[in-house]
Amino acid sequence: MKAQKNNINRYVNFKTPIFLSMVVFALNFLSACSSSNTEYAVTTVKIEDPERKYFPILQGQRQKINVKILNTGENPLKISAVYPSCGCTVAKYPNKLIPVGEYGTIEMEYNSNKNLGYVGIYTTIKTNTKEGSQTFFFEINVVPDPHYTKDYEELYNADKEANKSLVKELVDGSANQQGYITDPKQMRKFK
């Protein structure tokens, strides 16, 4: 009975520090998961025209977009990050605190080089508000340049580049459609 009690005491003495360290780790982890804006008091904001539709632009042109944010709360506003949903849009935002009742401006630039047709970009703005972030959305149509039409040589070279193996395929047939021989007399014999 005494030996059994000693084993239980050793087990409890061994497990207690592990349990306490796990509790401390969990508390540290949970406190680190809280919002990154906890160092600033919570405020409210109003985005001027949070949804916009811009006139069409030619492919390759850039569209400059200024987003005004009004601090409508009782504490200074801190914009900690701006995340456009596409790599074609770059955003610059103020690093300084925006005083109560004043505007801050986010300068964005959309590059239409790699897009054609309808484009819709959502932008997440991380702030010290109750929600933690706001959303700004703009849409634009990118149209091809009507003054530039590919000539015959450009079309031919593009087609040739796209179908490099066309001649080989016409001569030899497709790799998966070359057939087989069933007559053993027609088969080559290898030594």
> Could you read off the pLDDT of 99-151 as tens digits, one per residue?
999 999 999 999 988 888 999 999 999 999 999 999 999 999 999 877 776 66
- Mean of per-residue pLDDT scores for the chain: 79
Residue with tokens 């450009």: 154
Torsion angle defined by CA atoms of residues 99, 103, 107 and 110, in that order, rounded to the nearest 10 degrees: 130
> Which of 113, 116, 137 shows the shortest CA–CA distance to 125?
137
* pTM for the predicted model, two decimal places: 0.58
Report the candidate in 136, 134, 112 with the shortest Cα–Cα distance to residue 122.
136
Listing from the earlier edge strand, what are the strands of the sheet with 89-92? Answer: 45-47, 62-71, 103-111, 89-92
pLDDT of residue 157: 79
